[in-house]
Amino acid sequence: MSLPIFLIGARGCGKTTVGEALSQALGYAFTDTDHHLQLSTQRSVTEIVETEGWEGFRARETESLKAVTAPRTVIATGGGMILAEENCRFMQEHGQVIWLSASPEVLAERLESEPEAAQRPTLTGRPIADEMSDVLRERAHLYQAAAHHQVNAMQPPQCVVEEILLSLSLARAS
Ligand SMILES: Nc1ncnc2c1ncn2[C@@H]1O[C@H](COP(=O)(O)OP(=O)(O)O)[C@@H](O)[C@H]1O
Ligand SMILES: O=C(O)C1=C[C@@H](OP(=O)(O)O)[C@@H](O)[C@H](O)C1
Ligand SMILES: [Mg+2]
């Protein structure tokens, strides 16, 4: 199988961390839509949002998704990639879509210990634990609908990788 693999899920679920490890396990390239955006614009997510608003960032995110999609590539997407129907359709049509699922409590704990403010400007203006509850309430059904497979992201990264590999090989066998 050489189709791209798209990792989706909320901020802090491990798309970037697990994506790198998964790409090594498969001998695939690794790319991250936010990193691509930062490199191509020479600006951080926070800077883009400050100058162009979330609307501007979301339009650029869609372009970034299309630009990085290639065979034998693991693609870590930004947490809001599923907000546009167009992005969901594109990922479903071009590859395998994996949702890294985690509770708001686990996500908030990870984000509090490593906020990476330049990558993650606030989405709601609320404290991080409340924000992650709000975000999951709004988006869980979108992650679910977009994904071919859901995996438990509340385990060590290498175990998440194993679970993804298992889902993909089961999908191949069926
Ligand atoms: N499976 C995991 N277990 C524990 N910590 C994790 C795990 N995955 C990611 N992290 C940590 O959570 C934070 C966010 O991870 P990251 O990969 O940037 O998530 P995302 O790209 O989904 O926002 C980082 O500090 C990372 O080290
Ligand atoms: O959830 C979101 O809307 C966002 C998540 C971020 O990516 P990560 O999920 O990699 O943190 C980044 O794309 C941007 O701050 C918006
Ligand atoms: Mg990321």
Ligand 2 pocket list (CB less than 6 A): 11, 15-16, 34, 45, 78-80, 119-120, 123
Q: And the tokens for 38?
A: 């930062």
Helix (H, G, I), strand (E, B) or coil at 107: helix
Q: And the tokens for 162?
A: 């194993």
Helix (H, G, I), strand (E, B) or coil at 161: helix
CB 76 within 8 A of CB 125: no
Closest Cα to residue 136, out of 5, 8, 24? 8
Q: Is 22 in the pocket of ligand 1 (CB under 6 A)?
A: no
d(CA 149, CA 158): 17
How much is the ipTM here?
0.99
Q: How far is the CA of 172 from the centre of ligand 2 (A)?
A: 30
pTM: 0.98
> pLDDT-derived band of residue 170, with 50, 70 and 90 as boundaries?
confident
For residue range 34-51, list pLDDT tens digits in order. Answer: 999 999 999 999 999 999
Ion ligand 3 nearby residues (CB, 5 A): 15-16
CA angle 153, 90, 101 (to 5 degrees): 10
Burial 54-82 (b: 16+ CB within 10 A, else e): eeebbebbbebbeebbeeebbbbbbbbbb
Closest ligand to Cα 135: 2
CATH 3.40.50.300 at 5-167, yes or no: yes
Tokens 């869609």 belong to which residue?
Answer: 62
Tell me the mean pLDDT in the region 5-26. 98
Tell me the mean pLDDT in the region 11-36. 97
pLDDT score at 171: 73
Going from N- to C-terminal start, the domains of the chain cover: 5-167
CB 27 within 8 A of CB 114: no
For residue range 62-98, list pLDDT tens digits in order. Answer: 999 999 999 999 999 999 999 999 999 999 999 999 9
pLDDT score at 174: 61
Tell me the mean pLDDT in the region 129-151. 98
